[in-house]
Structure 1
Amino acid sequence: MKIEFAPKDVPLNRRLQTASVAQWVFSFILLAPLCIVLFVFLLFTRFWLISVLYAVWWFVDWETPSQGGRRVPYMCGLRIWNYMRDYFPIQLHKTADLDPRNNYILGFHPHGVLVAGAFTNFCVYATGFRDKFPGFTCYMLMLPLWFRAPFFRDYIMCAGLIPSDKGSASYLLRRKEGGNAVVIAVGGAPEALDARPGAYILLLAKKKGFVKLAMEHGAHLVPVFSFGENELFDQVENHRGTWLRWIQEKLQGIMGISLPIFHARGVFQYSFGLMPYRKPINTVVGRPIRVEKNENPSTEELDALHKCYMDALYKLFEEHKAKYGVDEDTHLSFV
């Protein structure tokens, strides 16, 4: 295979963009296990007290992730996230106003491999969510597993990430003052196994937990589609029914995280590596679906609202797909 190296005269601005995305990919893939190793390693050195004191802090601070976390606005506003935004680039598009007197659940689709669009739009301040939707604070759900990693849990909480369990979301949605936007990548980790260029397969047909959560708290639903999310990486062929897909699904069931085998480009060359391609991401926030509070919805009521949400998401995709380079004959597939 011939390797295509990056030219030596790449502008500094583009190098900074690449560096910002490289640190993000590193954080997503390797930082958590490295933090665990560091925690254990320090216990067997003269710096053992650092781990011991952190363990005490961890015990005292155990409930913080499930109680809104600990966002650090300064960290969310760092210039490094602007460089990350411009690498692809990523843009956030608004189709309707949201009332800050209410709470909302934003269903993000598709998950993609590393959820780049969701992180850049809703966790950090790079694409102007606060200006487009004034009065709101975003919280994005992430697998609870990552909040069990020492040091790493504190890092991800800085960006408004909270565990993806019912208790954590309910803590925010029951706030009567409103202004809370809980972002859920509805397809979750399993959907990442279908993330490849040109794929529009969403794990949604049987995903009703977020709809029931919205009904229980009277939180309005907002479909969000991120065009370009699946274009960032290639993935080893793992279609349903193959032995690789069977192994991946078994491991996902055991560990709670999916393990897509993905690749794209490198830092200094364009032929292979774990850096995403420079492909544009356009995240479109749809119109809100009004939800009346119903703490004990019937199966029929739940199914009706779930269908309403799927129809709204499908319509959102159809209305905007041509604008963002999707073929007219391409449609969403719900599984």
Structure 2
Amino acid sequence: MEKVLNGAEEFSESCNMLKMVLALALYLGTIHFNLALIFFATFFLPLSKALLVFGSLLVLVMIPVDENSMFGRKLSKYICRHICSYFPITLHIEEVEAFRPNQAYVFGYEPHSVNPIGMIALGHSAGFMPLAKTKLLASRAIFYIPFMRHTWTWLGFTSVSKKNFISSLAAGYSCIVVPGGIRETLFMEPGCENVFLKERRGFVRIALEMGLPLVPVFCFGQTDTYKWWKAPGKLIQNLARILKITPLFFWGIYGSPIPFKIPLYVVVGRPIKVEKNPQPTMDQVAKVHNQFVDELQDLFNRHKAQAGYTNLELKII
């Protein structure tokens, strides 16, 4: 059985463009807001007021975020609702009956693209997935950025550290991780989806150690939501990897962080059952990893025509 959930159909009656742009700004524009605020404080405010701004930002980085805040819950639902309508996002679950609400799963979501925007359709705030609890795993750097750490925590994001990954699964949360991570952007190229997956086996090892099913997920259209330019040359890419930075410049509508309105088609595959193995060998991990890679490739091939990308190629590198 298949189930298709379309954000546009669910929420079109209550949305307008202003609300959608505000939701996108809250979700994706907080880094730019911080930079603008720092620039303004540095060059246009007296020293005393500038120090007050910097101190306030530091406090916002340090104080804990209440992920169960009533305001946070309302804001996260607002963001999800209007973002799902903006593109719109369609969520296609191949076999809804294969998922048990109280079972934890490890979702491998691809591609990363400039920003894995489609992940939001899998979070608890969207309310689409037939699961009781979910967590979206993101870079630790996000949780040191004022305002962004608040909105993303309320949206269900947590640090992608191994400790958080395991503790979230142990607490019964299904975790959505992008195995290729930010490094995957180094391999982006026009007209092709390059997934950096062959060396990324940590999420498979954790699934084996905890005996939790693996689920392949692919998002069509996401790579086209931004225009981008990547610094050429292997030397620059190797240097960027060492320094843990991404030599990628990107822009959306009118050069802003607001992405282009490209329909997103998120496909959730069938769970891959694994046997619990507290100490899997490298060969055992490799075997399950190969199975996941094959399932992701098959998932892509089965749905690319329906998603409107008949001629798109997927390269797993």
Deviation sequence 1:7-26 (CA, Å, 0-9, x none): xxxxx923443343344331
Please say if 1:25 is aligned against 2:13.
Answer: no
Give secondary structure in 2 for the equivalent of 1:314.
helix
Measured in 2, the distance between the counterparts of 1:194 and 1:224 equals: 19
Query: Is the contact made by 2:61 and 2:146 (CA closer than 8 Å) also made in structure 1?
Result: no
Q: 2:205 aligns with which of 184, 188, 212?
A: 212
Measured in 2, the distance between the counterparts of 1:42 and 1:213 equals: 51
Measured in 1, the distance between the counterparts of 2:105 and 2:92 equals: 17
Shift in CA distance, 262/200, structure 1 to aligned 2, threshold 3 Å: same
Q: 2:169 aligns with which of 167, 173, 179?
A: 173
Query: Is the contact made by 2:194 and 2:316 (CA closer than 8 Å) also made in structure 1?
Result: yes
Give secondary structure in 1 for the equivalent of 2:253.
coil
Unaligned runs of 5+ in 1: 1-11, 267-271
| Structure 2 residue identity aligned to 1:26 | G
Please say if 1:115 is aligned against 2:116.
Answer: yes
Please say if 1:148 is aligned against 2:144.
Answer: yes
Measured in 1, the distance between the counterparts of 2:165 and 2:22 equals: 33
Matches within 5 A, 1:106-255: 106-119=107-120, 121-123=121-123, 125-126=125-126, 128-129=127-128, 132-133=129-130, 135-150=131-146, 152-175=148-171, 178=172, 180-195=173-188, 197-236=190-229, 238=231, 242-243=232-233, 246-254=235-243
Measured in 1, the distance between the counterparts of 2:239 and 2:159 equals: 22
Give secondary structure in 2 for the equivalent of 1:289.
coil
Query: Is the contact made by 1:111 and 1:195 (CA closer than 8 Å) also made in structure 2?
Result: no
Q: 1:258 aligns with which of 246, 257, 279?
A: 246
How many residues were matched structurally? 297
Give secondary structure in 2 for the equivalent of 1:182.
strand
Q: TM-score, normalising length from structure 1?
A: 0.76
Query: Is the contact made by 2:136 and 2:157 (CA closer than 8 Å) also made in structure 1?
Result: yes
| Structure 2 residue identity aligned to 1:296 | Q
| Structure 2 residue identity aligned to 1:300 | D
- Report how far residue 181 of structure 1 moved: 1.2
- Report how far residue 212 of structure 1 moved: 0.5
Give secondary structure in 2 for the equivalent of 1:162.
strand
Shift in CA distance, 57/319, structure 1 to aligned 2, threshold 3 Å: closer
The 4+ residue runs of structure 1 with deviation greater than 6 A are 34-43
Give secondary structure in 2 for the equivalent of 1:173.
helix
Matches within 5 A, 1:96-115: 96-97=95-96, 98-115=99-116
Q: TM-score, normalising length from structure 2?
A: 0.80
Tell me what 2:303 maps to.
320
Measured in 1, the distance between the counterparts of 2:89 and 2:177 equals: 19
- Report how far residue 185 of structure 1 moved: 1.1
CA RMSD, Structure 1 to Structure 2 (Å): 3.4
- Report how far residue 251 of structure 1 moved: 2.7
Deviation sequence 1:221-280 (CA, Å, 0-9, x none): 100000111111222255xxx33x6425423431x34242123432xxxxx554322111
Query: Which segment drifts farther, 284-293 or 14-23?
Result: 14-23
Query: Is the contact made by 1:108 and 1:185 (CA closer than 8 Å) also made in structure 2?
Result: yes
Once the two structures are aligned, what percentage of the paired residues are identical? 27
- Report how far residue 325 of structure 1 moved: 1.3
| Structure 1 residue identity aligned to 2:315 | S
Measured in 2, the distance between the counterparts of 1:93 and 1:165 equals: 28
Tell me what 2:94 maps to.
95
Please say if 1:84 is aligned against 2:73.
Answer: no
Shift in CA distance, 159/219, structure 1 to aligned 2, threshold 3 Å: same
Query: Is the contact made by 1:42 and 1:50 (CA closer than 8 Å) also made in structure 2?
Result: no
